[in-house]
């Protein structure tokens, strides 16, 4: 496992969010694993940290669920790579998970950002 420096301000991903991020990344077209990892890190402006081992297991999990499919091809730097793309089923899942996520973050935000007294009751 990659050891994380405690002073590292990157955030390890919450359970279950990696799947959603992968699906989202693949909306823009087929991509190989390393591309997906880079893309997530870049798009989150280096805030999110993707554990590569977990990434590949997640990819395999999504493939097993038939949300994405994979085939070997040649990358832009002329190397063999395994390219992943969304299936229709995966696209539908992405929509559903995205709306779920939005509702969750909204709710979380409401609670976490609300002012004072109720907090003590909880």
Contact set with another protein (CB under 8 A)? 1-2, 32-35, 37-38, 51-53, 56-57, 60-61, 64, 75, 77, 79-82
Instruction: Give the DSSP H/E element, type plus range, for residue 55.
Output: helix 52-64
Residue with smaller CB distance to another protein, 45 or 120:
45
Min dist CB 97 to another protein, Å, is 21
CB of 1 to another protein, least distance (A): 6
Distance (Å, whole) CA 56 – CA 34: 9
**Residues 16, 53, 11, 77: what is their CA dihedral angle, to the nearest 10 degrees?**
-110
In the three-class reduction of DSSP (H, G, I as helix; E, B as strand; rest coil), residue 79 is classed as coil
Shortest distance (Å) from residue 101 CB to another protein: 25
Short-list 71, 89, 88, CA closest to 80: 71
Residue number with CB closer to another protein (70 or 101):
70
Q: Which is nearer to another protein, 43 or 102 (CB)?
A: 43
Shortest approach of another protein to residue 113 CB, angstroms?
35
Pair 2, 51: CB distance under 8 Å: yes
Residue placing its CB nearer to another protein in the complex, 57 or 92: 57
Backbone φ, ψ for residue 29 (5° rounding)? 130, 170
């Amino acid at each position: 496992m990659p050891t994380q420096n405690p002073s590292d301000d990157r955030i390890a991903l919450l359970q279950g969010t990696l799947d959603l991020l992968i699906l989202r990344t693949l909306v823009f077209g087929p991509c190989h694993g390393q591309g997906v990892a880079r893309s997530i890190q870049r798009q989150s402006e280096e805030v999110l940290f993707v554990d590569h081992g977990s990434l590949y297991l997640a990819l395999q999990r999504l493939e097993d669920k038939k949300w994405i499919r994979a085939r070997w091809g040649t990358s832009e730097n002329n190397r063999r790579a395994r390219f992943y793309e969304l299936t229709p089923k995966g696209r539908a899942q992405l929509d559903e998970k995205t709306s779920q996520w939005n509702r969750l973050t909204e709710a979380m935000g409401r609670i976490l950002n609300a002012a004072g007294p109720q907090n003590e009751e909880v």
